[in-house]
């Protein structure tokens, strides 16, 4: 295959229509091709039997449907599957399949590494190498969906939900993310509803506003702290986009969102953000901002470089109780796939860091300034 061949996994339907028109083909041919690739998982143009032979011949010369090279597959006792994909030049990214009774979710990566550098996330500690292309983002779903169908001997859809919560900050790779989201949603491809596709962000405010205008899917925000003083060291992006700006963007996003609430992710860190004082501050913040939301309390998955520890279960439940008593919908997330390092904050892949993360993230312990009479855990 020529080095100039275009990987059709990277084209949403509008782009594929334009590409087929450049080959002298009509729109309906692009729709047929799109369905073969995404609905049927076929990569060989010769097998696309209802395409004109002349088109198949053209495509075989100038195009390809090329997935990612699978390096490893790990299966957890709870049914979670983690795949590690080679994206070239020493970089590898991870996708995680999480089956549940009422849904089957694929957690998709958007970058090789991450430049945000959240203190509690092992991806951030690896540093950042590069953005993934649209084809590399879509290829994770293309592989997982059709691999799982083959295992089940079924043509029925397996994956019902996509969360952009793998490696990377999706909104720092917006140009490549947007066509991928459109392919996830397109009825000629995966046909997922906007409610079932979630973009998770640490708070890139201008891009939240862009997403609202371009492709408003469900939004999850990595909150992790109720005040700027505490969030600054945990989520360094907060120094650029502090809570007031972030929550204003969230409130605006709800005007176009498919759900009538924002999901906030809150990683529970022992002695850092898990006290009753922080719970009360969080209630006050949400009330002050009048923001319809749901809180996910996430167990921290420790890794050596973080210098952080997991909150005791009693502290998590006491924290949740304060929120629930205030009428805030709160879920204590179950840890899934932690035996294969597939749980939240554990995805690390292999990254050729270009940002000196190891040096940047060697920090002094986070100091939490509590009230003079601290509330007991």
Domains parsed from the chain with CATH numbers: 6-64 (1.10.150.530), 69-360 (3.20.20.70)
What pLDDT is recorded for position 200? 96
Q: Which of 25, 94, 136, 265 is catalytic?
A: 94
Active site residue 344: yes
Distance CA 33, CA 138 (A): 16
Calpha distance 157→138 (Å, rounded): 16
Are 231 and 221 contacting, i.e. CB atoms less than 8 angstroms apart?
no
Residue 235 is encoded by which pair of tokens? 């989520």
Q: Specify the pLDDT at position 338.
A: 61
* CB crowding 255-268: b at 16 or more within 10 Å, else e: eebebeebbbbbbb
20, 121, 250, 344: the active-site residue: 344
Q: Which tokens is 257 given?
A: 């969102």
Cα atoms found within 13 Å of the Cα of residue 337, Cβ hemisphere only: 25
The predicted-structure confidence for 237-249, as pLDDT tens digits, reads as follows 999 999 999 999 9
Number of Cβ within a 10 Å radius of residue 283:
17
For residues 144 and 40, is the Cβ–Cβ distance under 8 A?
no
Q: Cα dist. 264→20, 145, 203, 207 in Å? A: 41, 28, 11, 17
- Which of 180, 190, 105 minimizes the C-alpha distance to 156? 190
Q: Are 301 and 308 in contact (CB under 8 A)?
A: no
pLDDT score at 77: 87
Residue spans of the chain under pLDDT 50: 1-2, 342, 344-347, 358-377
pLDDT at 375: 46
Closest alpha carbon to 319 in 235, 224, 221, 250: 224
Element (H, E) at 356: none
Rounded to whole angstroms, the Cα distance separating 156 from 375 reads 52
Nearest residue to 273 via CA among 243, 244, 316: 316
pLDDT of residue 373: 43
Q: How far apart are CA 121 and CA 78, in angstroms?
A: 22
What is the model's pLDDT at position 335? 65
HEC profile for 263-312?
EEEEEEECCCCCCHHHHHHHHHHHHHHCCCEEEEEEECCCCHHHCCCECC
Question: What is the rounded distance in angstroms from the CA atom of residue 38 to the CA atom of residue 142?
Answer: 7
CB 278 within 8 A of CB 309: no
Cβ atoms of residues 33 and 20 within 8 Å: yes
Query: Phi and psi for 104 in degrees, rounded to 5?
Result: -135, 115
151 catalytically annotated:
no
Cα–Cα separations (whole angstroms), residue 371 to 213, 233, 275, 321:
42, 19, 11, 20
Q: What is the pLDDT of residues 276-287, one digit of tens each?
A: 999 999 999 999
Q: What is the pLDDT of residue 120?
A: 81
């Amino acid at each position: 295959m020529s080095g100039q061949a275009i990987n059709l996994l990277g084209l949403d339907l509008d782009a594929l229509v334009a590409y087929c028109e450049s080959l002298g083909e009509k729109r309906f041919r692009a729709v047929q091709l799109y369905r073969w690739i995404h609905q049927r998982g076929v990569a060989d143009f010769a097998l696309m039997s209802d395409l004109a032979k002349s088109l198949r011949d053209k495509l075989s010369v100038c195009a390809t449907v090329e997935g990612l090279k699978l390096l490893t597959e790990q299966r957890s006792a709870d049914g979670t599957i983690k795949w590690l994909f080679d994206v070239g030049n020493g970089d590898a990214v991870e996708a995680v399949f999480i089956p549940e009774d009422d849904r089957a979710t694929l957690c998709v990566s958007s970058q090789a590494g991450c430049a945000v550098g959240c203190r509690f996330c092992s991806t951030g500690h690896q540093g950042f190498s590069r953005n993934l292309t649209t084809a590399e983002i879509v290829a994770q779903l293309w592989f997982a969906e059709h691999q799982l169908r083959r295992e089940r001997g079924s043509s029925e859809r397996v994956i019902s939900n996509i969360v952009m919560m793998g490696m990377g900050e999706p909104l720092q790779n917006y140009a490549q993310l947007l066509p991928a989201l459109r392919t996830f949603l397109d009825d000629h491809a995966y046909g997922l509803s906007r409610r079932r596709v979630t973009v998770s962000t640490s708070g890139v405010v201008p891009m939240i506003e862009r997403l609202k205008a371009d492709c408003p899917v469900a939004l999850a925000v990595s909150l992790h702290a109720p005040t700027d003083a505490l969030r600054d060291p945990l989520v360094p992006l907060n120094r650029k986009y502090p809570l007031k700006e972030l929550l204003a963007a969230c409130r605006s996003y709800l005007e176009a969102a498919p759900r009538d609430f924002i999901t906030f992710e809150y990683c529970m860190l022992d002695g850092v953000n898990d006290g009753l004082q922080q719970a009360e501050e969080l209630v006050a913040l949400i009330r002050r901002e009048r923001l319809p939301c749901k809180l996910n309390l996430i167990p921290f998955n420790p890794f050596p470089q973080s210098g952080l520890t997991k909150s005791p279960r009693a502290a998590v439940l006491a924290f949740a109780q304060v929120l629930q008593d205030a009428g805030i919908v709160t879920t204590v997330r179950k840890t899934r796939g932690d035996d294969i390092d597939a749980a939240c904050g554990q995805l690390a892949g292999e990254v050729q860091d270009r940002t000196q993360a190891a040096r940047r993230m060697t920090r002094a312990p986070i100091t939490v300034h509590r009230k003079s009479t601290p509330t007991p855990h």
